[in-house]
Structure 1
Amino acid sequence: MALAAGQELRDQLAGQWLDNVLDPDSWHDIFGGDVELLGDPCARADQLAALNGAHVQGCLAEGLLGYRVEVETDEPVGDTIVPGTEGRFATASAVAVVEPRCTFDPPGEDAGDDVLPTLDCEEQWELDPDNLDVLPEPEDLFDVHLAD
């Protein structure tokens, strides 16, 4: 469930970058997670938990680029070989972190306003403001992984 929240955060950050691709001054804030989100990434964790017979007990931002999610099953564990556990519910907790995969240097002062920085991710993206038909996908821009 934490990964679902992290992936939603990644998708929103990538969307913000796409909306501001022609404004490289905003890129540092976007890649650093210092932007206002359009929706709550915890809602995605709630949806995934419900699909898996569980519910989110807690979902909190952990810094600008992470979420801690705690879930509990909707049904008790049931009869097991361990006496007394039939009425207990399974719980889990995890932290997902989003990390930028890209770095960039602003173009030199001589470059002019119509030159975009080169994104250096696992591959380099030479961005042409007059031809933005091929842009990186969210997973090219940001990595999502469990941290705890």
Structure 2
Amino acid sequence: MADLRQDRGQAFPIYIVMVAGLLFLAFAFFAVGQASATRNGAQGAADSAALAAAQRAREELGPKVLTALTTPGGLDNIFKDGPVLADARAEAVTFAAKNDAELQTLVPHAGGVGQFKFTASVQTNYTVGESVIPGTEREHGNATATAMIELRCGLPPGTGGSTSPTPMPTPTPTSTPPPVTITCDGKDMPTDPLPAPDELFAVKLVD
């Protein structure tokens, strides 16, 4: 009987160590979960900021389509001058803030023909929080995302090609310009009135 009590006494410290180890693992997994949630929050903020910048830039591009239709290769070069960066950046800042994050950088860059991209980098205003892992209380979430504006339209076949249109004839003072039709995602659309920006340009997240 004394041996049994002695065995129990020897096992008790081992039991304590095992329980402490399991508790540490539980808290460590919780810290990993906190870090993952912070990263996800940062990624959501970056996605929102990039999309907001692209959507704001898209709003100013609609009228440029009509000008592009009167210029050889105009649709190819519709992003040549780029959109107004200040307006796009202001929109990105706003949407990052709505997701409790701060916009770090917004980088515009050309894509392929008829494409333009914005890459947003953000940092969360909040941290991972205190945990059993040292330093997490100072660790913010960081993420980047890229959104692309893509021209959805071209001229119908037989009118100069989808991306290198034949210029419209210049009207004489006594005539009106001929109606222009463009094809957007396979659908013919008149340009008077001008289609909505989201019908002319798609905005999406890209890798």
1:24 alignment partner, one of 32, 55, 69 = 69
Aligned to 2:103: 56
Counterpart contact for 2:118–2:146, Cα < 8 Å:
yes
Aligned to 2:133: 83
> How many angstroms does 1:23 deviate by?
7.0
Which ranges of 4 or more aligned residues in structure 1 deviate by more than 6 Å?
107-112
Q: Please say if 1:138 is aligned against 2:201.
A: no
> How many angstroms does 1:34 deviate by?
1.8
The aligned amino acid for 2:117 is: G
Aligned to 1:115: 178
Judging by fraction of residues, say which structure has more helix. Answer: 2
Counterparts in 2 of 1:143 and 1:126: CA distance versus 1, 3 Å: same
Counterparts in 2 of 1:76 and 1:15: CA distance versus 1, 3 Å: farther
Structure 1: gaps (5+ residues): none
In 2, Cα distance between equivalents of 1:68 and 1:31 = 21
> How many angstroms does 1:116 deviate by?
3.9
2:89 alignment partner, one of 20, 42, 49 = 42
TM-align CA RMSD: 2.9
Counterpart contact for 2:70–2:166, Cα < 8 Å:
no
Counterpart contact for 2:69–2:75, Cα < 8 Å:
no
Counterparts in 2 of 1:55 and 1:22: CA distance versus 1, 3 Å: closer
Residue correspondences, number: 139
What is the identity percentage for the equivalent residue pairs of Structure 1 and Structure 2? Answer: 27
In 2, Cα distance between equivalents of 1:31 and 1:121 = 17
In 1, Cα distance between equivalents of 2:204 and 2:188 = 22
> How many angstroms does 1:145 deviate by?
0.9
1:126 alignment partner, one of 190, 193, 205 = 190
> How many angstroms does 1:135 deviate by?
2.8
In 2, Cα distance between equivalents of 1:75 and 1:135 = 44
Counterpart contact for 1:56–1:72, Cα < 8 Å:
yes
The aligned amino acid for 2:108 is: A
Counterpart contact for 2:53–2:91, Cα < 8 Å:
yes
Counterpart contact for 1:100–1:142, Cα < 8 Å:
yes
> How many angstroms does 1:137 deviate by?
0.7
Counterpart contact for 1:24–1:116, Cα < 8 Å:
no
Counterpart contact for 1:77–1:86, Cα < 8 Å:
yes
Using structure 2 for the length normalisation, give the TM-score: 0.57
Task: Tell me the SS of whatever aligns to 1:91.
Answer: strand
Counterparts in 2 of 1:30 and 1:88: CA distance versus 1, 3 Å: same
Larger radius of gyration: 2
